[in-house]
Every structure is written in structure tokens, then in C-alpha cells.
Amino acid sequence: MNQLDFPIDHELVQVRRGRRSGLPVIICVHSTVLGPALGALTIRSFPDAKEALTDCLRRSQTMTYKAAAVDNGTGGASCCVPFPYGAEIARALRLAAMLDIADEVHALNGLFRVIPGPGIEPEEMDVLFRRTPWISGRSRRTGGVGATLPGGLTGLKTAINTAIACSLDRSSVSGVRICILGLDEIGAQLARDLRKLGAQLVLSDMDPTAQLVAVELGVEWLPPEEAIRAECDVLVPCVGERFFTSANVSELNCRIICGSANGQLSSPDVGASLVERGIDYVPDFIANAGDLIYLSSVELDQRTEAAAVTHVRFAMERGVRSILTDSREATLSSVELAIMIGRHRIDSLTPESD
């Protein structure tokens, strides 16, 4: 039994000090059974090294189950360069860290392919690509996919539409009351697209200036503490984490939760509480899988961008429908079911040991 608060079922865990930056470069490869391990790169602050390693381990495992559940043909990994809370990473130090990352990735000779995580621009991925070919999410100038917004947005809209069809037996978002929590790039564009399709919107964000989007669209605005409890058909968390806890599940007034934000549940048992409340939850690592599917479709499978968007719709519709339908029949939470699907696909290709 794992007495530690993080997964230990990885193929590779590596922590090395960058020779240029002096910062630790953490690489975790969870699984390559279903295909090359893709993992997001993050450069961010942590309170201590243990939390940084724990975060990297969890994200690599989640990437495996995300890819497996939507049958993407890739494995899961993660890469992180942590720095202390309160510190700022200067441009020169960030560049040095990027070069250190490229060296470590190149040394693994294709076991791990890096994709951009939050705050990492395609142009920064180009820096890595100059030193190693095992880089995806590059700019168009270097033959990459560029921004993955088309995939992420298409994936999230497809997930919402599929959940509405499965849970509300409705064929469109017209007249459906949808509350979006967080108006980042994907949240704001989602609001504009849903408004055009006739959805009844409620918008919210920690940044009060984001209220301008609500004014632009002529829709309702609520502060975050009220929005999470708003009466709606679909609650869409797009920014933040740990929205839902054992303490606030009883206060939710939605039928469906489906958003792109990572880490929406404060703990696994919250998923079971949502089942008890009759709230259908599309796991966050499934709802935000569109960008992964899109990126790998273009850069690994050599699809055109239009064909990649079509593939995102197909893969997301199939994955979300299967998870929501099968979780009801199995009386499991949707998170448990999604992980079960992923494990089954991995186990089916894993040779049995003697």
C-alpha cells in the first residue's frame, strides 16, 4: 500500500539540477504503454521541493488517464521547473532553465515529448526545439501547431453539448442556463460562442474587470462566491482549482459540471458526493482533453488543422458519452469510471509477468 500522498507507479522519475540555471528540472514519465509519453511543461513557484515533485507525479499520472480515456494513442508524463514562493524568475534565468530542460529531454531519446503547460508560449517551445526534436506545441513558424485554443475550445464545447444531451436530453444549448466561472481566453470565447447559440449565461471571475465580457454580451454577472451556487443547468469552471469540496457540494444548484480548469475536486470522495446529489460531473481531465487531442493530431498524426478539429469532436463526444453513461450503470463516480477505462486500455497492452 502506498503510504505516500502521491502516485509511485511511474516508469521514470528524474530530478536533476540544471547546469545553467541551478534550478531543479523534474521529469516524471508515468506510462508509455499506449504510445509516446506527452507531458506539459510548467515553470512556477512552490512552497517546497516535495510539493513540486508531488504535483509533477500527479500530473503525469493524470495525463496518462486523460489520453487513455479518450483513446489518444499517447502516454503520460510531466515536466516541472520549480522556484521558491515569493521569488521572481528573470528572463535570463527562464531562458537558462529552458535550455536545461531541453538537455534533459534530449538525453531521454524520445521517451518523453514535451508539450506547453500553463504560461508556456509556443515561441518558448521553439527554444527547446532548437536543441532537441522531442518537442510539440511549437509555433507555426517552426512547423508546429501554434496555439491549441481551437482544440481546447472545440473539446470543451463538445463535452458540454454531449453532457447536455446525456443528462438533460436536449439537442442544443439554446435556452440552457450555463454559468461560467473564470473568463480566461477559453472561458471568454466559450461565453461568446454559447451566447450566439442562444444559451442563457451567467458569468463570473475573480478579476472584476472581466465583467466587461458580461456587459459586452448583455448577460448576468455574479461574484464568484455566489456564482458557484447559482441555479443553472451547467456549471463551467474555467479558472482556478479545488472548486468543489465536501463542505459545499450540498449547496450546488446545477445538473452538470463540465469545465476546463484543472483540479476541480478537492479530494476524490467529492466525486461520490456529486453522484449522491444527482450532479453529472465530466472529469476535468476529460473536459480539457481537446488541446491534447488537437496537438497530437496535427504534430504526431499529421492531420490538417481542420481534420484535427473534426477528430477532437469525435473523440470528445465518444469519450464523454461513454463515461457519463457507463458511470451511471456501474454506480461509480465519473472520475472512477474514467480512470477505470484508462487502466483497462493500458492493462490490455501490458504483458503479464511470470
How confident is the prediction for the chain on average, in pLDDT? 94
291, 287, 289, 294: which is closest to 311 by C-alpha? 294
Instruction: Provide mean pLDDT across the span 83-95.
Output: 89
User: What is the rounded distance in angstroms from the CA atom of residue 319 to the CA atom of residue 336?
Assistant: 14
Same domain, 171 and 210: yes
Let me know: does 216 contact 240? Beta carbons within 8 Å.
no
Q: Is residue 298 part of a domain?
A: no
CATH code, domain carrying 111: 3.40.50.10860
pTM for the structure as a whole: 0.93
Same domain, 245 and 285: yes
3-state secondary structure of 230: coil
Q: Could you read off the pLDDT of 210-241 as tens digits, one per residue?
A: 999 999 999 999 999 999 999 999 999 999 88
Same domain, 219 and 257: yes
Same domain, 325 and 215: yes
Q: Could you read off the pLDDT of 114-155 as tens digits, one per residue?
A: 999 988 999 999 999 999 999 999 999 998 999 898 999 999
CATH code, domain carrying 200: 3.40.50.720
Residue at a domain's end among 96, 116, 142: 142
Q: Which residues have CB under 8 Å from 44's CB, separation 6+?
A: 80, 82, 83, 118, 119
Which phi and psi (to 5°) does residue 268 adopt? Answer: -60, -30
User: What is the rounded distance in angstroms from the CA atom of residue 315 to the CA atom of residue 179?
Assistant: 25
Same domain, 91 and 194: no
Same domain, 118 and 213: no
User: What is the rounded distance in angstroms from the CA atom of residue 348 to the CA atom of residue 353?
Assistant: 13
Residue at a domain's end among 91, 126, 142: 142
3-state secondary structure of 60: helix
Same domain, 181 and 111: no
Query: Which range of residues forms the domain containing residue 265?
Result: 149-289+318-341
Radius of gyration of the chain (CA): 20
User: What is the rounded distance in angstroms from the CA atom of residue 27 to the CA atom of residue 57?
Assistant: 9
User: What is the rounded distance in angstroms from the CA atom of residue 124 to the CA atom of residue 112?
Assistant: 18
Q: Is residue 307 part of a domain?
A: no
Q: Is residue 124 part of a domain?
A: yes
What's residue 88's pLDDT?
Answer: 83
Number of compact structural domains in the chain: 2
The order of strands in the sheet holding 37-46 is 12-17, 24-31, 75-84, 37-46, 112-116
C-alpha distance across the termini of the chain, in Å:
22
pLDDT greater than 70 at residue 298: yes
Residue at a domain's end among 95, 126, 142: 142
Distances (CA, A) of 223 to 214, 229, 245: 12, 10, 19
pLDDT greater than 90 at residue 331: no
Same domain, 112 and 253: no
What's residue 4's pLDDT?
Answer: 42
